[in-house]
Amino acid sequence: MLILECPYCGVKADETELHPGGEAHLKRFGPESSDEEFEAYLFERKNRKGVHFERWRHVYGCGKWFHAARATDTLEVFGTYSAQTNAPPDDLIKKIKQKRPDFGGYE
């Protein structure tokens, strides 16, 4: 069972109180983009084994979207952070690197 702490209300929410939103920090390619860019935006995902950044929504709670960093292989949660950002915060990256020396950083 996955438990994520909502950064807006502080509830340690059980997975069943949350709604998954897929990979975090996707850049949208819209009407002016090429077919390849649009296809990549829609379908291409990192699907990492290991450190992964995701979007979640506290749907049975405050209703807000937020971000979470976790390991897909062990389910270890490194932290959660605000939705109002385009990349994971530096202190979280640092924390993950300490725990997982093989983690090369967010790209």
Partner 1 sequence: MSDPVCALNNAVFDGLVRLEETGPRGMVTLRGDLGAAAVLKSVQKAVKDATGLPVPAVRRIVLQKEYGAGWMSPDELLLMMPYDEAGRAVKAADKALKAVHSLVVNVSDARSVFRLSGAAAPEVLAKLAPVDFTAMAPDEIRRSRLAQVPAAFWRVGDDTYDVVAFRSVSSYVFELLKTAAAPGSGVGFY
Q: Which does 82 bind (CB under 5 to 8 A by kind): partner 1, Zn ion, none?
A: none
Is residue 27 classed as helix, strand or coil in its secondary structure?
Answer: coil
Q: Which does 67 bind (CB under 5 to 8 A by kind): Zn ion, partner 1, none?
A: none
Residues that bind partner 1 (CB under 8 A): 8-12, 14, 16-17, 60-64
- In this chain, which of 58, 70, 80, 81 binds Zn ion, going by CB under 5 A? 58
The neighbour count for residue 71, using CB atoms within 10 Å, is 18
Least distance (Å) between residue 91 CB and Zn ion: 21
Q: 15 vs 73, which CB is nearer to partner 1? A: 15
CA pair distance 54, 80, nearest whole angstrom = 9
Q: Where are the beta strands (DSSP E) in 1-107?
A: 3-5, 12-14, 19-23, 51-57, 65-71, 77-81
